[in-house]
Amino acid sequence: MPQVTIGAAYIRVSTDDQTELSPDAQLRVILERSKSDGVTIPPEFIFIEKKGISGRKAENRPEFQRMIAIAKSQKPSPFRRLYLWKFSRFARNQEESAFYKGILRKKCSVEVVSVSEPIMEGMFGRLIEMIIEWFDEYYSVNLSGEVLRGMKEKALRQGYQLRPCLGYNAAGGGKPYTINESEYAVAERIFREYYNGLDLTGVARKLNGLGLRTKTGNRFDRRSVERILKNRFYLGEVIWNGITFTGAHETRPSITSIFEAVQNRLESEYRPLGRREVSANAHWLSGLLRCSVCGGNLGYNRSNNPKRRPDFFQCWKYAKGVHPESCAITARRAEAAVIESLRQVISTGQVEYEYIPRREETAHDEESDLRDALARLSMKETRVRDAYENGIDTLEEYRENRRRLNAERDELTQALDLLHKAAAPPENIPDSHEVVRRIQTVYDLLISPDVDFAIKGNALRSVVKYIEFDRRNDRISMRYYIS
């Protein structure tokens, strides 16, 4: 009884080829060819990628990777011939094509056949196959440039191709976008709330409180609100890659009638990025205050009119419209609370603190070098494993590489352990009396009117790790430390 030859079929549909056969058509042609060759293709050896999977990178094609894994699962491979409709279905990257075909042919004894590109046997046939692969790669690389040129031409002809903004849906075929009524109502609300007096943060906070979301389903913040308010698509203009034209999509007076007034307010109230002057030492508490709800820093805000509204600290997440609740405290009250906490420690002599050993600069550099070496070692281990799984290295070579890398890892780990032991806390850790003494020094600096913010801030950081403000319970907690 003659032995049955088992084959396999790999099918991928390109989204950029207008002459492409459907998956069913490709499979039909392949099965007809395999039958005439006397090769049987079982259903479990038919590998079909989902529509739209790119052929540019083999690692992004799950069915391709499964096919290679099955071919390598035993020697010889469970199938002896792989049928393709075109060589370009296998790969459009000549380097990857040669690599994986080498695995199939040399390691797995699998013949790769294109049913629509018959190739003669021998050296000249292989040369023609390489020429086909080079052309496919050129086509793939050139395609991106052609697509960009096509998009530019489409824009010049006033075709729609940008991502729809909040309130619109794409119609397809370059046609004008249509209004999404539920989303457009949100866009109208954004323009109306800002026009009526709310600032960007207030608008974002109000939208989030109502459970409304952006086009992508995220919570609103001041930046997303600003982008919508500045988007001239709502005014009827279409802008793509520097090309601007008056669109034919529907606009409504609810936005167009107040659009320019909104732009004038934005321009007057919000300076362009880079023009705002920020002091590195805005306040000696800057960077130390934290929000008890979200852990975010409380940013310092200097008032333009201290008589009406004093300087204050506010959770930055709330300021951006993300945090639902305000966590603000006036600068004067925060200063008084911190100084009072220091005074109580000095008067009672009681303080809870954390010991943080000082690290020498050289020791820190050495630890960084060791951790970088361990990270590079992990990358080497990944490459060694990939080389084995892809059939480049034998099992013996893989074992030897693993043994060498494990020995190197043990050596680096031991060096890191020794470094940590050398940096272990000394037996003479400063006691609470020393902590109180240092706090006294900091206290004296903070209450002195002749000391600038920079010195006060550095002094406070030498004994305080962070300060947590709990607005609900109106409480400030100090986390002391010593090194």
Q: Which residues are catalytic?
A: 14
Omega cis (within 30) before 76 = yes
Reference 136, options 17, 293, 258; nearest CA is 17
Residue type (1 letter), 394 = T
Cα 234 to chain center, whole Å? 29
- 119 contacts 89 by C-beta, under 8 angstroms: no
Q: Which two tokens stand for residue 135?
A: 């052309």
Torsion angle in degrees (nearest 10) through CA of 361, 365, 368, 372: 170
Buried b / exposed e across 78-99, counting CB within 10 Å, b at 16+?
Answer: ebbbbbbbbbbbbbbbbebbee
Distance of CA 199 to the CA centre of its chain: 29
DSSP state of 50: P
Query: Cβ(54)–Cβ(60) under 8 Å?
Result: yes
Q: Rounded to the nearest 10 degrees, what angle do helices 181-195 and 222-230 cross at?
A: 100
Distances (CA, A) of 218 to 204, 399, 478: 11, 48, 35
Cβ proximity of 133 and 87 under 8 Å: yes
Q: What is the DSSP letter of 252?
A: -
Three-state DSSP at 173 gives coil
DSSP class per residue in 65-93 = HHHHHHHHSSSS-S-SEEEES-HHHH-S-
Residues pairing with 243 in the sheet:
240
Residues 6 or more apart whose Cβ sits within 8 Å of residue 161: 151, 154, 155, 174, 240
- How far apart are alpha carbons 333 and 104 in whole angstroms? 74
Residue among 284, 187, 179, 181 at smallest CA distance from 231: 187
Closest CA to 335 of 254, 222, 239, 453: 453
The answer to whether 178 touches 249, Cβ cutoff 8 Å, is yes
Q: N- to C-terminal Cα distance for the chain? A: 85
- The three-state secondary structure class of 368 is helix
DSSP 46: E
Q: By the 8 A CB rule, do 101 and 86 touch?
A: no
